[in-house]
Amino acid sequence: MKDIEKEKSTREYTGDEAVLVEKIKELIDTYVKPAVEMDGGNIEFKSFDKGIVTVILQGSCSGCPSSTVTLKSGIEGMLKRMVPEVTEVVSEMG
């Protein structure tokens, strides 16, 4: 059985997609991460594909019942407003 390692974004983004991914990462790091860390959690960008942003929730976020509400109402709403190409935000537990 192979070891399960944390999957980080290994995909290379180019052109307009690379610009979008940088903007998404910057928004998460600037606005989302500090708030999540105050509650003992962490959020990491994993990928962007066809409008869908995948993030990894860690720490207290991974078991928090309100993390889904925060993800959909807060994070998804903000990213959709700031980056119109974003259609959805989904999470994986870290």
Q: Is the pLDDT of residue 2 over 80?
A: no
Q: Residue 52, by phi and psi: left (phi above 0), alpha (psi -120 to 50) or beta?
A: beta
Tokens of 14: 């180019």
Q: How far is CA 84 from CA 39, 52, 64, 88, in A?
A: 28, 11, 28, 10
pLDDT at 77: 94
Segment 15-64, tens digit of pLDDT? 999 999 999 999 999 999 998 899 888 999 999 999 999 999 888 877 77
Q: What is the pLDDT of residues 60-86, one digit of tens each?
A: 877 777 777 778 888 999 999 999 999
Q: Domains of the chain (ranges plus CATH)? A: 16-93 (3.30.300.130)
Q: What's this model's pTM, rounded to 2 decimal places?
A: 0.82
